[in-house]
């Protein structure tokens, strides 16, 4: 595996784990030249998971787009990169399981998966993501979400 940091082809596997019920393998690797650690994935090549957009278009699921959206929501928040990586892995695995039969998942279902997990991790990031995902246009929409969060917190206390 080529090191993304220095380009060397010499590495060693430090950890391997099965993901998604054994359908993929996550490997932690360490470059023997520069010591950089990185993750690689092995998966069975199947039909790509398609995401049905709100306007009816279909496009292939892209992990990079998912990660970018989550990164933007979590920008300048005290959340580790490892937590973000685990979050993206969980959502990707759940999306693959939900879309298994038809190889298709709605963007709405994908967005709700992200929101559910962000709510548990960081409330500010949850509001950030919700504002873009749900296309907030007024301050009242922000306030409504924050009020729902506050009442939800009060209900659990």
Percent of the chain with pLDDT over 90: 68
For residue 156, pLDDT over 80 is answered with no
Look up the domain containing 11 and give its range: 1-45
Q: In which order are the strands placed within the sheet that holds 58-60?
A: 58-60, 50-52, 104-106
Q: Is the pTM of this model over 0.75?
A: no
Q: How many domains does the chain have?
A: 2
Residues 79-102: tens digit of each pLDDT = 999 999 999 999 999 998 888 878
pLDDT of residue 152: 80
Residue 154, pLDDT score:
66
Stronger pLDDT, 118 or 47, i.e. the higher one: 118
The answer on 57 and 25 residing in a single domain is: no
Is the domain of 61 the same as that of 100?
yes
Note whether 55 and 125 are same-domain residues.
Answer: yes
pLDDT for the residue 151 = 83
Is the pLDDT higher at 22 or at 69? 69
**39 and 52 fall within a common domain:** no
DSSP, residue by residue, 49-67: PEEE-TTS-EEE--HHHHH
Please answer whether residues 104 and 52 qualify as being in contact, where contact means their C-beta atoms are separated by less than 8 angstroms: yes
- 33 and 64 share a domain? no
Indicate whether 31 and 88 sit together in one domain.
Answer: no
Mark out the alpha helices in the chain (DSSP H runs).
Answer: 63-73, 81-98, 107-121, 123-133, 139-156
Q: What angle do CA 44, 49, 55 make, to 5 degrees?
A: 170
Q: Are residues 130 and 96 in the same domain?
A: yes
């Amino acid at each position: 595996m080529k090191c993304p940091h220095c380009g060397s082809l010499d590495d060693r596997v430090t950890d391997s784990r099965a993901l998604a019920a054994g359908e993929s393998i996550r490997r932690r690797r360490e470059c023997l030249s520069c010591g950089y650690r990185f993750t690689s994935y092995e998966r069975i090549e199947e039909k790509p998971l398609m995401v049905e957009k709100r306007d009816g278009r279909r496009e292939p699921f892209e992990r990079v787009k998912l990660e970018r959206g989550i990164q933007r929501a979590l920008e300048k928040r005290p959340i580790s990169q490892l937590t973000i990586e685990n979050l993206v892995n969980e959502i990707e695995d759940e999306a693959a399981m939900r879309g298994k039969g038809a190889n298709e998942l709605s963007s709405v279902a994908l967005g709700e998966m992200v929101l559910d997990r962000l709510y548990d991790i960081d409330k500010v990031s949850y509001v950030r993501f919700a504002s873009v995902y749900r296309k907030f246009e007024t301050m009242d929409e922000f306030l409504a979400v924050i009020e729902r969060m506050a009442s939800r917190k009060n209900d659990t206390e």
